[in-house]
Amino acid sequence: MQWNVDFDISALVILFVIIVLYASKQCVSIKRSHIFLTMTGLEIIAIFCNIAVRNMMTGPESQPNLLCIVLMDIFFALQYLVPIAFMYYMIVWSGKSFKEDKIVTILFIAPIIVYGVMIIKNFFKQDLYVFDNQYGYQETHMISILGGMVLYCMLFGLIYAIMHIRLMSFGKLSMVALLAVTVGVSVVVQYYILDSVFIDFIIAVSLLVVYLVAQNPADMLDSNTQVLSRNMMDELLRNDIGEKKEFDLVVLALDDFKFVNKTFGITTGDMMLIQVAHFLTTVSSRGKVYRYGSDQFALQIKRGDVDLHTVLETISERFRHPWITEDVSVMLSTTISCVSYPEDGVMMEGLVDVIDYSVLSAKTQGKGSIVFAKDMDLQALRKEKAIEKAIELAIDRDTIEVYYQPIYNVEKQCYTSAEALVRIHDDSLGNISPEVFIPISEKNGTIVKMGTMIFEKVCKFISEHNLKDTSIEYIEVNVSVVQCMQQGFAENLIDIMEYYHVDPSQINLEVTETAAANSIAILQENIAKLHNQGISFSLDDYGSGYSTLGYLHQLPFKIIKLDKLMVWDAFENERAGITLKFTVGMLKELQVRIVAEGVETKEQRAHLAGIGCDYLQGWYYSKAIPANEFVTLIEEAC
């Protein structure tokens, strides 16, 4: 193999560019920065050693002296240590420790053993290179084992990072993936092309890519306050959790900071934030300060470093005094939540939820309050998280089921419609009530996907069972407020109906008053589109929340569904009975059809039919049942 100095010189230039870039910006002193600088330093020394030896050994006649051999051995030791450090760097960057995963541990240790054995052997035997008559110096075939190791380490590190870094942007991910491919190809090419050695060059390029993708201070620090960014918080907490290091996190959420921005302007607001951030860096010399949200900071204190209560006292004391910029002096207040690891969240995912939950509960307790996660009822949060998982699983595995509850038509004396009601069964949580999971699904947005799946299932059901040929005229489908707010909601439903050849008259959408109250403009637009197609609408749970009669006039509701509590009240309380009677009378004047929900007894049925309800729905007739049972029911009943 021939040595070509051009590659080494180019590698050195790249490495010096990295050093200059690094030195010109504020250095973020974290573990992987240290590993990165070590790698760069090792590679520079290795290349210098190589250049020195090659210059000493100019021809076949020159014999290696002791210095040459020592430099050569150092070169091999350092150069091949860099890929191992690279692999370690990627693992630290990913924040995912593998200590408990035996297979990954073996995969990590294996190249280190190969490296150790080969390099130590070389110290004694110098079997990685020989001096021959033609070139004076040549690497032996043993070097291909180390070449393979380089390939292995780099690919291991890159693939590990790709698999475990969730917050990597697409651009960065592409760069890391491209680097993985380039390294792979180059090592293979190096094996076959013996004309020149370019491994040093590839390593230098890899380090440059790492600098740009992972080590750039602009990404690690918050651009305004220069404290660690939110991404770094995720990474560093993940690292500490992986290494089981205990810590306390003090999260400050500034109260009414929007007001400061509005009153004094964004520039002053930014300067205030800089001051708060700077103050926090002085609270604990070894603590880490993060920008957690736009007006939120987090201070991470290593357990045993400083007493948490002293820290809280220092912070509270500072907030009793004004924050002063060039021309304004403002009193700021902050709510504080304290979260401890491992006490309050055993895993990273759990911890972030606890942080958010505690910030929220500190806010609800009022300005300036201090909340400790250990005092909060985390049981509710954990249950919610478990339900979130169950929802996601049900969506992924398509195990969401739709049950049907028949609706009795008083005039025709048979079932002419049914309400589609979603069901989720989870292996560990059992049957979860939609009353519990729908609000959670609305909060995290999964309702949009779930709503589409439910609608698809209903349409499929209508077309597969030829509901047109039965007494069932239409199916009532609940739509949530979040779905109504989506642009393209109407188009999506229309597409699904077309796909399953469902006539729009076979669908009735149930909307609650809350939906109507929240998003009247978008709702009106979506309803208008669907209404023009021939879909009818029901106003659900009428009488339960705000009795916003206004919506009755603004939106084209064909049916009003009386909430079951209103219905039940009428049988408990005389005045409620009068209200119900007159409500039904008024709705009939408005020429809408009326469904009474929650019909459980014969008496209820008779009374509700008597006062003029057009449809009756409730356990008296049937609970919501699976699709096949529903088909049997209507075949037998009508």
* 439-477 residues labelled b (16+ CB within 10 A) or e (exposed): ebbbeeebbbebbbbbbbbbbbbbbebebeeebbbbbbb
Q: How far is the CB of 598 from ligand C2E (least distance, A)?
A: 4
Question: What DSSP element (H or E) covers 376?
Answer: none
Stretch that binds ligand C2E, among 134-142, 408-416, 500-508, 611-619 (CB under 6 A): 611-619
The option from ligand C2E, Ca ion, none interacting with 434 (CB < 5 to 8 A, set by class) reads: ligand C2E
The option from ligand C2E, Ca ion, none interacting with 53 (CB < 5 to 8 A, set by class) reads: none
CA 42 to centroid of chain Cα atoms: 37
Give the angle 197-200-202 at the CA atoms, nearest 5°.
Answer: 95
Structural tokens at position 329: 């002096």
Question: Per CB under 6 A, does 598 bind ligand C2E?
Answer: yes
Which segments within 331-383 are labelled E, that is strand? Answer: 334-341, 370-372
CB 481, CB 518: distance < 8 Å: yes
Closest CB to ligand C2E among residues 200, 540: 540
**In angstroms, rounded to a whole number, what is the distance separating the alpha carbons of residues 452 and 456?**
6
Closest CB to Ca ion among residues 251, 566: 566
Among residues 97, 478, 508, 538, which is the contact residue for ligand C2E, using CB under 6 A?
Answer: 478
Closest CB to Ca ion among residues 478, 536: 478
The option from ligand C2E, Ca ion, none interacting with 155 (CB < 5 to 8 A, set by class) reads: none
Query: What residues contact 410, with CB distance under 8 A and at least 6 apart?
Result: 609, 613, 614, 615, 616
Q: How far is the CB of 598 from Ca ion (least distance, A)?
A: 8
Q: How far is the CB of 512 from Ca ion (least distance, A)?
A: 8
Distances (CA, A) of 471 to 166, 244, 310, 413, 414: 52, 64, 73, 11, 8
Q: How far is the CB of 376 from ligand C2E (least distance, A)?
A: 28
Stretch that binds ligand C2E, among 92-100, 212-220, 432-440, 499-507 (CB under 6 A): 432-440
Closest CB to ligand C2E among residues 260, 584: 584
Question: Per CB under 6 A, does 421 bind ligand C2E?
Answer: yes
Question: Per CB under 6 A, does 480 bind ligand C2E?
Answer: yes
**With contacts defined by CB under 6 A, how many residues of the chain interact with ligand C2E?**
23
Q: How far is the CB of 564 from Ca ion (least distance, A)?
A: 7
Neighbours of 412 (CB within 10 A): 13
Question: Per CB under 6 A, does 434 bind ligand C2E?
Answer: yes
Closest CB to ligand C2E among residues 139, 600: 600
Question: Per CB under 6 A, does 475 bind ligand C2E?
Answer: no
Q: What are phi and psi of 140, to 5 degrees?
A: -90, 175
CA nearest 109: which of 69, 149, 58?
149
Binding mask 299-318 for ligand C2E (x = CB under 6 A): --------------------
The option from ligand C2E, Ca ion, none interacting with 454 (CB < 5 to 8 A, set by class) reads: ligand C2E
Question: Per CB under 6 A, does 526 bind ligand C2E?
Answer: no
Q: How far is the CB of 420 from ligand C2E (least distance, A)?
A: 6
Residues 529-588 that bind ligand C2E (CB under 6 A): 540-541, 564
Beta bridge mates, 406: 418
CA 292 to centroid of chain Cα atoms: 15
Closest CB to ligand C2E among residues 127, 603: 603
Total H helices, total E strands in the chain: 26, 19
- Is the bond into 342 cis (omega within 30 degrees of 0)? yes
What is the number of residues in the chain?
A: 638
| Contact positions vs Ca ion (CB under 5 A) | 478, 510, 540-541
The option from Ca ion, ligand C2E, none interacting with 237 (CB < 5 to 8 A, set by class) reads: none
CA nearest 458: which of 432, 438, 478, 488?
478
Among residues 114, 128, 359, 454, which is the contact residue for ligand C2E, using CB under 6 A?
Answer: 454
Using CB positions, name the residue nearest to ligand C2E. 618
**In angstroms, rounded to a whole number, what is the distance separating the alpha carbons of residues 610 and 594?**
13
Binding site for ligand C2E (CB under 6 A): 405, 420-422, 433-435, 438, 454, 478-480, 540-541, 564, 597-600, 617-619, 624
